[in-house]
Amino acid sequence: MEKSKFKTEISQISETSALIEFGKEISEDINKKVRTFCAYLDEHPFYGMVEYVPAFASVSAVYNPLKMNSESPYEVVKSILEDMLSKLDFSSVDEEHIVEIPVCYGGEFGPDIEHVAEINNITVDEVIKIHSEGKYLVYMIGFSPGFPYIGGMSEKIAAPRRESPRIVIPAGSVGIAGMQTGVYPIETPGGWQLIGRTPTKMFNLDGNPQSLLKSGDIAKFYPISYEEYLELEEEK
Amino acid sequence: MSISVLSPGLLTTIQDFGRNGYQKYGVIVSGAMDTYAMRLSNIMIGNEENESVLEITLLGPTLKLEKGTLFSITGGDLSPTINGKNIPRGKPVYLNKDCILKFGSCKTGCRSYFAVAGGFDVPNVMESKSTYLRAEFGGFNGRALQKNDILSIGVKSSKSAKIIKKLEDIKEKSDFIVSSWYMRNFMRQNPENTIIRVFEDRQFHNVSEESINKFFSSKFNVDTRSDRMGYRLAGEKIEFKEKLEMISEEVSVGTIQIPPDGNPIILLADRQTAGGYPKIAHVASVDIQKIVQLKPNDKITFKKITLKEAERLYFQREKDILKLKKSINIITI
């Protein structure tokens, strides 16, 4: 097995947080380390830990310095983290967890789908086919509740962000930005090219967990008709 | 007991320390912008320091309060009055009758905190009562206060009851009683030049030498588009030695990021959970309370300190707060 040249680095980033960096790029292997480490923190939060925040290739651990009982609280946290990292087994294999998300492509829900087809010299049907055939790894959840940062989209349907962002993007909108695709869980402004909409709630306050997707999941989209969309919308 | 909202003000929301532990689901922390003022307002009336309070922005509300209410106001000076009489900030106030609390013009700062003994009786959503405006949950029905809202007040602590007892001993005949003691929490701030202490963040060394010099020697103007998410600054544009390839990673309160237009943004309570812009510096935790009281067009200058020094200041502030808590305990004996 090829070992990554990057050694895991720990650094202090504020009075109350430390950053654990597993690499400097977006890669499935590095992201897997992030998830393994977070799973460990879920099971074994250290004394004084407030929370952790995962990203593509790093995790920040937020702590209460007053609970470290030291003039140098970061040094205490650092040695705890180093100890954890030395014990962790990063070679375990994830069970693939696929989450299927229905999408009504085009029409009023996907006002930019023709533009995406045009700039890639393909038809709208081909955009739908390529987008719904992909298997997308969820690298992280961030930006807004339940918003997945997912990778692995085909460059055949890549499209740059809109030059002027929309003021309002309805919840459930499925969009493309560069090589990324994603779903807007709540109404927000945004600059992504919109190709469709899902009736599935990406974030549900009463759910457990509240977010439909979590990092490490595989997201898959499948096309539904406008009628099916309305039916599913009503079931909510 | 309850509070009726006669007029809501510009942006009045219920906030506490914020929602920790849910950023991994994309749920932002929220919470009071000026957590220091929030903590003091709670401590002086016998609440837990993280109890929910009202965060009042620039133009305050008019509230009808019931007889027997104990409250305090800290943070910016928005000219609070009870039944038309000025009341001080930083002192507990107890009502002998139903009264009207009205905020007036904004004299200093821009965010005021109103704490009431017992806190607000709203549901905890993900372990916090903070209002998350964009996602429409937390606080009072997930939104800013509106006219005719009725806010229920929680059960007073025994400490609050003791403070009320002390105030009743004053035997004032007027509508309300103000304590003789006070908590000083108002820093003298110069709107023409507030000094903000910062330490280096991760991409500091990627900034061009010229921009570093300008960053620490010129004044920045607070942009009108500043809000709870972040304060946008206008002034010298910050440039990098070379174009940086960034991937999204953590940001926190006080992160100073540089978007492509070169104008710094200081991230605050409603910041997103992760960010992809270069981070050049980080505001010392103790100076966040200065920033969040700045109004658009106020001016700031950055001063560089070490992270070690910021840590020392952090500990000093926590020691001071501990002292205040102890002094309240002495008052209530």
pLDDT single digits (tens) B234-244: 999 999 999 88
Number of H helices, E strands in chain A: 5, 13
pLDDT per position as a tens digit, A117-145: 999 999 999 999 999 999 999 999 988 89
Lowest mean pLDDT among A3-17, A71-85, B258-272: A3-17
3-state secondary structure B264-330: CEEECCCCCCEECCCEEEEECHHHHHHHCCCCCCCEEEEEECCHHHHHHHHHHHHHHHHHHHHHHHH
Other C-beta atoms closer than 10 Å to the C-beta of B241 total: 11
pLDDT exceeds 70 at position A155: yes
Name the residue ranges covered by the structural domains of chain B. Answer: 2-186, 194-314
pLDDT of residue A5: 62
- Nearest residue of B to residue A39, measured between CA atoms: B24
* Topology at the third CATH level for domain A9-87: Gyrase A; domain 2 (3.30.1360)
Share of chain B above pLDDT 70, in %: 98
Domain spanning A98-235: CATH 2.40.100.10: yes
CB contact under 8 A, A186 and B272: no
pLDDT exceeds 50 at position B330: yes
pLDDT per position as a tens digit, B8-64: 999 999 999 999 999 999 999 999 999 999 999 999 999 999 999 999 999 999 999
Closest CA of chain A from B183, distance in Å: 23
- Nearest residue of B to residue A140, measured between CA atoms: B24
pLDDT per position as a tens digit, B280-292: 999 999 999 999 9
Mean pLDDT of B236-258: 92
pLDDT per position as a tens digit, A162-221: 877 788 899 999 999 888 898 999 888 888 999 999 999 999 988 888 999 999 999 999
Domain B194-314 in CATH: superfamily? Cyclophilin-like (2.40.100.10)
pLDDT exceeds 90 at position B172: no
Closest CA of chain B from A14, distance in Å: 7
pTM metric for this prediction = 0.93
* Local confidence band at A37 (pLDDT 50, 70, 90 cut-offs): very high
**ipTM value greater than 0.90:** yes
State chain A's mean pLDDT as an integer: 92
CB contact under 8 A, A145 and B26: yes
* Nearest CB to B26 within list A25, A57, A141: A141
Domains A9-87 and A98-235 share a fold: no
B90 or B332: which carries more pLDDT confidence?
A: B90
Q: In which element (H, E) is residue A228 found?
A: helix A226-235
Name the residue ranges covered by the structural domains of chain A. Answer: 9-87, 98-235
Share of chain B above pLDDT 90, in %: 84
Q: Return the closest-CA partner of residue B105 out of B123, B86, B120.
A: B86
pLDDT exceeds 60 at position A2: no
Interacting residues of B296 by C-beta distance below 8 A, sequence separation 6+: B222, B223, B224, B226
